[in-house]
Structure 1
Amino acid sequence: MLSFVKSLSRSQKRNIMLAVDSMLVPLALLLALSLHSSGGQSILSMMLAYLPVLPVFLVISGALSVLLGVSTIQLNAYESAAIGLTGAYSVALVLVSVLLTTAAQIPVTVATHIVFGTSFFIFSVISRAVLLQIVLAIYRRSAVRCRVLIYGAGTTGTQLVSALRNHEKIEPVAFVDDSRALHGLVVARLPVYSPVRIAEIAAEKQIDRVLLALPSLSLPKQAQISRRLQKMGFEVQALPSFAQLIGEEALVDKLTDVEPKLFLNRDEVSSVTGAGGIESYEGKTILISGAGGSIGSELCRQVLQCHPAKMVLFELSEVALYKVDMELRQIAEDIEVEIVPVLGTVTDTLQVRRILTKHNIQVVLHAAAYKHVPLVETNPLTGLTNNVLGTQTLATEAATAGVERFILISSDKAVRPSNVMGASKRLAEFVVRDLATRVPFGEGPIYTMVRFGNVLGSSGSVVPLFQEQLRRGGPITVTHRDVSRYFMTAQEAVHLVLRAGAMAKGGEIYVLDMGKPVPIERLARQVIESAGYTVRDANYPEGDIEIEFTGLRPGEKMTEELSLTGNMVGTGHRKIFSADEAALSEIEIASALRSLRAALAASDEQAAKDVAMRWVEGYSLAVREQFENAPKFNPMS
């Protein structure tokens, strides 16, 4: 039966409605004549008198139905406007009846005509309501309907039920609502239950989906409810998007991210590269390693403003290289800068040598490094190979190829590190500084290092993580209540890196002034409040988002430092300082690298860590303190 209904064309459906109306005309006429006659004989005689004009009346009624569009109105769209159109159609039929009976001199009273029109109108409306229920019954029996539970029995919920009453695929079954005053009541002909009974109601009424009709509730709270219901095994969708009610679209939040620089709590350093040092990059052939990363890609953008002759983008990740290459090519066409994307790794000596020689590289900006502390901590061999030996390979080959400047992007985590990532960056600094002391001035690259802290908005940094947790409705996780970090934006960090690289004479460790360290808990609160929500804590239990403290991760410090000694000398730029720190000798560096290579060749993680602990200041002490302060295993707990 369902296949027959679906196979009907629009013209066939119109003809069916015309036939229905054609049958209702004589039925309404019979009722009107019977109410204004005194006996059965009179009804028969009046019908016989009316019979000559009836065919003409039916033809005209059909033409009027098509003209007014009454027969083309869809059953599921038959509402107030359509009912009004049916009323106009009924009035038109009354006028036609009056004209025909007058022309044929049939004795019919005005009251009979009025009763005819009223009867036809009522019959027409009822017939369409009955036909709609018949069609819906066919769909219900022939197709699987989605039985939904509506969370929220307020105005939006009741309007939603009204909209779904005649839907062929969705059947509202019941409400749940947090308001105790509504529990046990019947709203919009559906019972209202407490949310604590959702599992019981779902089993009893065979619920397929839960619809959140709570548009006034904050998005994080909607997300919290949605996540709780999904854990119970329900499919959850939410208003106001009606596309979500009949499709497969998941709960969508409409949070917009705030620019990371708004969380600096200080003025951002101007990132106009042309303010000084541009001559060190203008017209040069520049290689940027790690070009697809957060810092690497920003280096590419700002170096491009210096109008180099050629930029070689050296990147391990194919996706990251593709993205930065596509972005830069659109800009480079206007300023005639050649862009060369190279897919590879800085640990490959032959490839590095070939690239430096083939493209006559004059400046190397080395940003390629594994920087995520927890990941490097669990993959120490990979982290040390890339960060230490990769730097040694690229820096050594740069001297052989006649590179003019080599700038290493370092990290504040290299200062008294408590993790493998920080130790690897400190060893990389030792390698570059050793080369700087061994290359005579003017006969090789000017080697320099630039050290700074966390970059707001970079991949894996806290602000994007907090914003993603906010989208999911929280909680926002902070490792420790007292943990703090230095922050810069990628734009200002790269601007200062380029300025420092331009002013370098060789062997300097430049440290960027990052202002005061920012407490991470305060940063989390700023992210929550900047999105228009409130923090849920002991003082405000009705808040939107909770901050959860998870404990320090392996290798993580409470605070970071920018210098080992604290002795920093000013430079020509107020935000750039030079750190006065001891370095390893050439023999010590050679011994460290030899031991590290042996540990890596043997795939011995502990031996590799031991190398770092021996040569990196403070690393062994920091690791020991972490071990001593870690919670001890209690067999009785």
Structure 2
Amino acid sequence: MIAFGHDIIMAALSFGISMALRLGDLGNPLRDTVLLSGTAAFTATAAVVFLSLRMYRGIWRYASTTDLVTLAKAVSILILIFSFEMFFFFRHEGLPRSVPIINWFVLLAMLGGPRFLYRMIKDRRYGWHLDLSATPKIPVLLVGAGDEAELFIRDAARSKTASYRPMGIIAESSNRVGRHIHGVEVLGTLTDIKQVLTGLNGENRPRRLVLTKDTLKGSSVRELLELAQNFGMTMARMPRVDDLQSDGENQELRIRPIAIEDLLGRPQQPLDRDAMTALAQNKRILITGAGGSIGSELVRQLAEIGPKELVLVENSEFALYLVDRELAERHPALTRHAVIADVRDRTRIDQVFAHYKPELVFHAAALKHVPLVEDNVFEGMRTNAIGTRNVADACVAAGVDVMVMISTDKAVNPTNIMGATKRIAETYVQALDLKRGADNGTRFVTVRFGNVLGSTGSVVPLFQKQLQAGGPLTVTHPDMTRYFMTIREAVELVLQASALGASNHASNGKLFVLDMGEPVKIVDLARQMIRLAGYVPDQDIQIQFTGTRPGEKLFEEIFHGAEPLVPTKAPGVLLASPRTQDVDQVRATLDALDTAARAEDRDGLLLNIAKLVPEYAPPPAVQDLSPPA
């Protein structure tokens, strides 16, 4: 109401000012009559126009060019309506025709000026007040000279509680060097940041690097982290846009520490949201292994799409309880079913599928920890291979439209039982997919990818626990290398590949492989995590090499050399064509594998594994890499 009253007063004054600017003298009685009647008509019309255009939803504190456009629109409509009114009632007698044009500029200035002056005062652009109680601000150097840096500098300038004082900016290219953003100079590029830091001394010496760009390559982030440590600085980054939460006028951009995900620096792949929605929306969806790392993230992302029902199948009661409670809190209106079932139990799986009649199935249940499966080969076979067959056969019997199987890079040239069992599972669903025909039966889609950060059994939680204990961080081999991506990114690309596979008959019997980017050395990952914790590798926290474990490879592969990769229309998703086998032969071998596993016949198990995975080759004996005493 205060803003509305302000605008009405300004509208009334603007008409008189416009008349005075045009005529210079308002002493004529006729002009006085026009002035009074015109001011009354103009003010009344302004009140109607301003209210009808809903001009008072914006906040003066955040007045911007959008508000200026709204004001210009309102003033233009007001001037047009008023001109018709004056012509209709007074035939413009005593009112020069140029007055409405002058009035347009005058009123726009009188409405917009106070708004932007108010914002400038609130943003403390002029430093009109001195806060003697303010705490000293931490000098920081910003990396990235884009919109994010501008937002950070603006927020630091206007916030009374801001903890940081930008001392300079590092750009990604040289075309902005020497320029300023709100008075903060772009000092150099990433290639000469060391010289920039050397030149900043005394009060200008930054104590922290702040990444304002979230598109920096992982290698660049890792180099910056090491450089910051060498200069005795810490490193952090601005929150991404999707990390921010609205908090009204008191919102402040709070930078957060660099996370291990930032060191990967994987660019966000564009996703076909429409295809993913068409795949899952209003569908009855069943997820095996729903309480696991990948399964629970599938539950979260699928729930956002809006399925008709979600059936959560999980063998672990506690894991099922956690994901079911989370789903109930986030999506209370979504129909869900928490089902305790073991994929090894064919009868139970058939019962579940017959009862819930899913249309879309995501099979994420598996034993994934390589050393544990090496010690429990029969359970690994029954879960990963026989369990997959149970789920796939249940899909066919229940008339499921699409089954998506989650596989792993360890299925490529496997040197361990876990990888071999996953390759057998791939082979079976491939054979079923080729047999189904072009237009009928269940469609089988297999998606293969590498390690995900933070998953169950991942090296990252282990390193975090070892850091909390003061070290050492244990690495099996100096050359151990792995592919990594975040759980969220992996599941997003799984859904993307699933949507692509469900609608693309040319991919029958093929595998979708996620582009994992560049492999990362585990020892380098350990050193980076030590630096993130504020320690110096090999000084404050030691790294200990323990030797490779049973079944472990130094280098993982995403695809076999005989699997030609074909790009798809979805960035980040590739298509591979591994060898296939006849489904009846695969079934016969699986029966033999099931029998051998139940009888704990290791020789019979290995003999039949060789029939389906001839490239399976256990690694040599464990190598001891412990340093000499």
TM (norm. structure 1) is 0.55
- Residue 607 of structure 1: CA displacement? 2.1
Tell whether 2:382 aligns with 1:388.
no
Partner of 1:248: none
Tell whether 2:471 aligns with 1:474.
yes
SS of residue paired to 2:474: strand
The structure with the largest alpha-carbon Rg is 1
**1:590-609 counterparts in 2 under 5 A?**
590-609=587-606
- Residue 617 of structure 1: CA displacement? 3.7
Distance 1:358 1:598 in 2: 28
Partner of 1:612: 609
Are the counterparts in 2 of residues 480 and 550 from structure 1 also a CA contact under 8 Å? yes
Provide the identity percentage: 42
Partner of 1:251: none
Partner of 1:545: 541
Residues 566 and 603 of structure 1, relative CA distance in 2, 3 Å threshold: closer
Tell whether 2:237 aligns with 1:261.
no
Q: Choose the corresponding residue for 1:558, options 554, 559, 564.
A: 554
Partner of 1:303: 302
Distance 1:580 1:347 in 2: 28
**1:80-95 counterparts in 2 under 5 A?**
none
AA paired with 1:321?
Answer: L
- Residue 342 of structure 1: CA displacement? 0.2
- Residue 598 of structure 1: CA displacement? 2.1
AA paired with 2:292?
Answer: G
Distance 1:452 1:315 in 2: 22
AA paired with 2:398?
Answer: A
Distance 1:273 1:330 in 2: 28
Q: Choose the corresponding residue for 2:346, options 346, 349, 373.
A: 349
Partner of 2:530: 528
Partner of 1:512: 514
- Residue 510 of structure 1: CA displacement? 0.3
**1:298-337 counterparts in 2 under 5 A?**
298-333=297-332, 336-337=333-334
TM (norm. structure 2) is 0.56
Runs of 4+ residues deviating >4 angstroms:
none
Residues 449 and 345 of structure 1, relative CA distance in 2, 3 Å threshold: same
Partner of 2:445: 448
SS of residue paired to 2:405: strand
Unaligned runs of 5+ in 2: 1-255, 625-629
Deviation per residue, 1:16-40 (Å, 9 max, x gap): xxxxxxxxxxxxxxxxxxxxxxxxx
Distance 2:509 2:334 in 1: 30
Distance 2:272 2:568 in 1: 17
Distance 1:365 1:411 in 2: 15
- Residue 268 of structure 1: CA displacement? 4.3
Distance 2:336 2:536 in 1: 47
Distance 1:430 1:530 in 2: 42
Deviation per residue, 1:203-248 (Å, 9 max, x gap): xxxxxxxxxxxxxxxxxxxxxxxxxxxxxxxxxxxxxxxxxxxxxx
Distance 1:529 1:315 in 2: 38
Distance 1:408 1:401 in 2: 17
Distance 1:291 1:258 in 2: 30
Are the counterparts in 2 of residues 448 and 509 from structure 1 also a CA contact under 8 Å? yes
Deviation per residue, 1:511-552 (Å, 9 max, x gap): 00010110111100111001111112xxxxxx2100111111
**1:161-180 counterparts in 2 under 5 A?**
none
Residues 599 and 466 of structure 1, relative CA distance in 2, 3 Å threshold: same
**1:89-488 counterparts in 2 under 5 A?**
259-269=259-269, 274=273, 276-333=275-332, 336-488=333-485
Residues 518 and 340 of structure 1, relative CA distance in 2, 3 Å threshold: same
Are the counterparts in 1 of residues 362 and 405 from structure 2 also a CA contact under 8 Å? yes
Distance 1:593 1:423 in 2: 13
- Residue 330 of structure 1: CA displacement? 1.2
SS of residue paired to 1:535: coil
Residues 547 and 274 of structure 1, relative CA distance in 2, 3 Å threshold: same
Deviation per residue, 1:554-579 (Å, 9 max, x gap): 10001011111251001111200000
Distance 1:469 1:448 in 2: 38
Residues 427 and 472 of structure 1, relative CA distance in 2, 3 Å threshold: same
AA paired with 2:523?
Answer: E
> How many residues were matched structurally?
364
SS of residue paired to 2:305: coil
Distance 2:260 2:339 in 1: 30
Deviation per residue, 1:349-380 (Å, 9 max, x gap): 22212221211200000000000000000000
Are the counterparts in 2 of residues 257 and 531 from structure 1 also a CA contact under 8 Å? no
Are the counterparts in 2 of residues 260 and 489 from structure 1 also a CA contact under 8 Å? no
Distance 1:609 1:511 in 2: 27
AA paired with 2:266?
Answer: R
- Residue 257 of structure 1: CA displacement? 9.1
Are the counterparts in 1 of residues 447 and 512 from structure 2 also a CA contact under 8 Å? yes
- Residue 273 of structure 1: CA displacement? 7.3
Are the counterparts in 1 of residues 452 and 484 from structure 2 also a CA contact under 8 Å? yes
Are the counterparts in 2 of residues 448 and 501 from structure 1 also a CA contact under 8 Å? yes
AA paired with 2:478?
Answer: R
SS of residue paired to 1:277: helix
Tell whether 2:500 aligns with 1:503.
yes
Are the counterparts in 2 of residues 380 and 609 from structure 1 also a CA contact under 8 Å? no
Partner of 2:77: none
Are the counterparts in 2 of residues 261 and 489 from structure 1 also a CA contact under 8 Å? yes
- Residue 584 of structure 1: CA displacement? 1.8
Distance 2:258 2:467 in 1: 12
Partner of 1:136: none
Deviation per residue, 1:170-197 (Å, 9 max, x gap): xxxxxxxxxxxxxxxxxxxxxxxxxxxx
Tell whether 2:578 aligns with 1:584.
no
Q: Which moved more, 1:582-591 or 1:389-398?
A: 582-591
- Residue 275 of structure 1: CA displacement? 5.4
AA paired with 1:264?
Answer: L
